[in-house]
Structure 1
Amino acid sequence: MKQTTVAVRSLLPTAIALGCSSQLIAAESGFIEDSTATLQTRNYYFSRDFSDIVGANKQSKAEEWAQGFILNAKSGYTQGTVGFGVDVIGLLGLKLDSSPDRANTGLLPVQGDGRAADNYSRLEGTLKMRYSKTELRVGELQPNLPILAFSDIRLLPPSYQGASITSSEIDGLTLQGGRLTSTHLRNEAGDEKMVASLGYTPQRQVSSDAFNYAGGDYAFNEKRTTVSGWYGQLEDIYNQRFLGLKHSQPIGGDWTLGANLGYYDAKEDGQKLLGNIDNQALFSLLSAKYGGHTFYVGYQGIYGDSAFPRIFANISPLGNELPTYEFASTDERSWQARYDYDFAALGVPGLTTTLRYVKGNNVDTGKGFAGKDRERDLDLGYVVQSGPLKGVGVRVRNAMARSNYRTDVDENRLILSYTWVLR
Structure 2
Amino acid sequence: MNNLRLAGLLTPLALSATAHAAEPDFFKDASATLQARNYYFSRDFSGIVGANKQSKAEEWAQGFIFNFKSGYTPGTLGFGVDTLAVLGLKLDSSPDRTGTGLLPVQDYGRAADNYSRAGATFKMRYSKTELKVGELQTNLPILQYNDSRLLPPTYQGVSVTSAEIDGLIVQAGHLGSTSLRNEAGDEKMIAMLGHLPQRQADSDGFDFAGGDYSFNANRSTVSLWYGRLEDIYQQGFVGFKHSQPVGDWTLLANLGYFTAREQGEQRIGEVDNRAFYSLLSAKRSGHTFTVGYQGIYGDDAFPRVFPNISPLGNEVPTYEFSYTDERSWQVRYDYDFVAMGVPGLTATVRYLKGDNVDTGLGFEGKEHERDLDLSYAVQSGVLKGLGVRLRNAMARSNYRSDIDENRVILSYTWTLL
How many angstroms apart in 2 are the aligned matches of 1:219 and 1:24? Answer: 39
How many angstroms apart in 1 are the aligned matches of 2:290 and 2:195? Answer: 24
How many angstroms apart in 2 are the aligned matches of 1:263 and 1:404? Answer: 27
How many angstroms apart in 1 are the aligned matches of 2:262 and 2:142? Answer: 15
CA change 1:203–1:16 in 2 (3 A) is closer
Amino acid across the alignment from 2:173: G
Picking from 138, 144, 150, the partner of 1:149 is 144
**TM-score with structure 2 setting the length:** 0.97
CA change 1:61–1:16 in 2 (3 A) is closer
Counterpart residue number, 2:335: 341
Q: What's the offset of the Cα at 1:8?
A: 4.7
Counterpart residue number, 1:135: 130
Superposed CA offset, 1:194-233 (max 9, x none): 0000000000110000000000000000000000000000
Contact 1:14 1:127 in 2 (8 A): no
Counterpart residue number, 1:390: 384
Amino acid across the alignment from 1:359: K
Q: What's the offset of the Cα at 1:384?
A: 1.9
Residue 320 (structure 2) pairs with residue 326 (structure 1): yes
Superposed CA offset, 1:366-413 (max 9, x none): 000010100100000011233432221110000000000000000000
Superposed CA offset, 1:159-193 (max 9, x none): 10000000000010000000000000000010010
Q: For the aligned residues, what is the CA RMSD?
A: 1.7
Bigger shift: residues 15-24 or 132-141: 15-24
Picking from 291, 295, 298, the partner of 1:297 is 291
Q: What's the offset of the Cα at 1:26?
A: 2.2
Alignment of 1:228-243 (within 5 A): 228-243=223-238
Q: What's the offset of the Cα at 1:87?
A: 0.4
Amino acid across the alignment from 2:303: P
Picking from 383, 396, 404, the partner of 1:410 is 404
How many angstroms apart in 1 are the aligned matches of 2:194 and 2:46? Answer: 20
Superposed CA offset, 1:23-43 (max 9, x none): 864234411121110001100
Contact 1:343 1:352 in 2 (8 A): yes
User: SS of the residue aligned with 1:101?
Assistant: helix
How many angstroms apart in 2 are the aligned matches of 1:161 and 1:292? Answer: 40
Counterpart residue number, 1:3: none
How many angstroms apart in 1 are the aligned matches of 2:280 and 2:173? Answer: 31
User: SS of the residue aligned with 2:26?
Assistant: coil
Counterpart residue number, 2:275: 281
CA change 1:286–1:20 in 2 (3 A) is closer
Contact 2:5 2:118 in 1 (8 A): no
Q: What's the offset of the Cα at 1:350?
A: 1.0
User: SS of the residue aligned with 2:382?
Assistant: coil
Identity of aligned residues (%): 71
Counterpart residue number, 2:69: 74
Picking from 150, 156, 164, the partner of 2:159 is 164
How many angstroms apart in 1 are the aligned matches of 2:412 and 2:345? Answer: 16
How many angstroms apart in 1 are the aligned matches of 2:231 and 2:260? Answer: 13
Amino acid across the alignment from 1:360: G
Counterpart residue number, 2:186: 191
Unaligned 5+ residue runs, structure 2?
none
**TM-score with structure 1 setting the length:** 0.96
Unaligned 5+ residue runs, structure 1?
1-5
Residue 49 (structure 2) pairs with residue 54 (structure 1): yes
